[in-house]
Amino acid sequence: MSTDYDPIAEQYQRAKQQPWRTHVESFTLMDLIGDPRGLSVIDLACGEGFYTRRLRQGGAQRAVGVDLSARMIELAREQEQRQQLGIEYRVADARSLDHADQADLVVAAYLLNYARNVAELQAMCDSIARCLRPGGRFVTVNTSPRLHFPSAPSYHKYGFETRAATPWQEAAAIQWIFHLSGGAIEVENYHHNVASHETCLQRAGFQSLRWVSPRISPEAVEREAEGYWQDFLNHPPVIFLECLKAG
């Protein structure tokens, strides 16, 4: 079980090809982000640059990707070499980013759920606030704090499963098992309830918090049998959030 992405970087990259990533995760996240044209963007926990590239290709004037995993950043840089988009990638820990920036937008797909306790969650939110200009926006997707994972249904038909530690409490571990053609990979992240998220973000200087449930792309609704997405929608394992840094 790992929170270290170095040994599973390539497999995780393949896990991004599962249909729910495109038709639920990306569909909802990119819609929530809106038009990035002309914006200065930082993608925290960028992994191999999945969203960093999309933001730059969508017209972000500047895009920086930051990740703790050297191997993930290596994969991102390899893709940058093949297709030069002018993205800068850095290895750094989002719990202790010391650089202040004036970005218009910070995106973080699955960062906050790696905080092992509330102090780390606070440290991440403080780092994010330091990256943004006053009035700048933070958009994120994470393991959902609203779902009671110990009683979640099986998500096997979507290509993954979850397991959760009991008692269900702050910082309880959640295992995600992604079924891929070459075998399964497992990663572990941590539960933080809604109040912990909101308190840490507000303490870091964020306001206008808005939680957004996942949506399914019309194409995927059309393609699958009726009711196929119902387990995902009735018990969403991920949730989206946007907020603004106070001006």
| Binding stretches for ligand SAM (CB under 6 A) | 5, 16, 45-47, 50-51, 67-69, 72, 93-95, 109-111, 114
Do residues 114 and 45 lie in contact, with contact meaning Cβ atoms separated by under 8 Å? yes
Shortest distance in whole angstroms from residue 50 CB to ligand SAM: 4
Which residue in the shown chain puts its C-beta closest to ligand SAM?
47
- Residue 47 C-beta: closest distance to ligand SAM, Å: 3
For residue 153, is the peptide bond before it cis, meaning its omega torsion is within 30 degrees of 0? no
Q: Which is nearer to ligand SAM, 40 or 142 (CB)?
A: 142
Q: Which is nearer to ligand SAM, 14 or 16 (CB)?
A: 16
Q: CA nearest 88: which of 96, 103, 98?
A: 103
Nearest approach in angstroms of CB 15 to ligand SAM is 8
Closest approach, Cβ 43 to ligand SAM, in A, equals: 7
CA angle 57-136-77, nearest 5°?
A: 35
Q: How far is the CB of 35 from ligand SAM (least distance, A)?
A: 20
Q: How far is the CB of 176 from ligand SAM (least distance, A)?
A: 8
For residue 206, what are its two tokens?
Answer: 């964020």
CB of 94 to ligand SAM, least distance (A): 3
- Closest C-alpha to 100, from 132, 123, 122: 132
Of 88 and 93, CB closest to ligand SAM? 93
Phi, then psi, of 55 in degrees rounded to 5: -65, -45
Q: Compute the CA torsion angle 129, 135, 141, 145 (nearest 10 deg).
A: 70
Q: In terms of DSSP bridges, do strands 132-143 and 103-109 run parallel, antiparallel, or are they unpaired?
A: parallel
Name 17's Cβ contacts closer than 8 Å, sequence gap at least 6: none
CA distance 48 to 78: 9
215, 186, 63, 179: which is closest to 131 by C-alpha?
A: 63
Q: Which is nearer to ligand SAM, 17 or 102 (CB)?
A: 17
Q: Provide the token pair at 122.
A: 């606070």
Is 94 or 132 the residue whose CB approaches ligand SAM more closely? 94
Nearer to ligand SAM, 177 or 228 (CB): 177
Decide whether 47 or 237 has the Cβ nearer to ligand SAM: 47
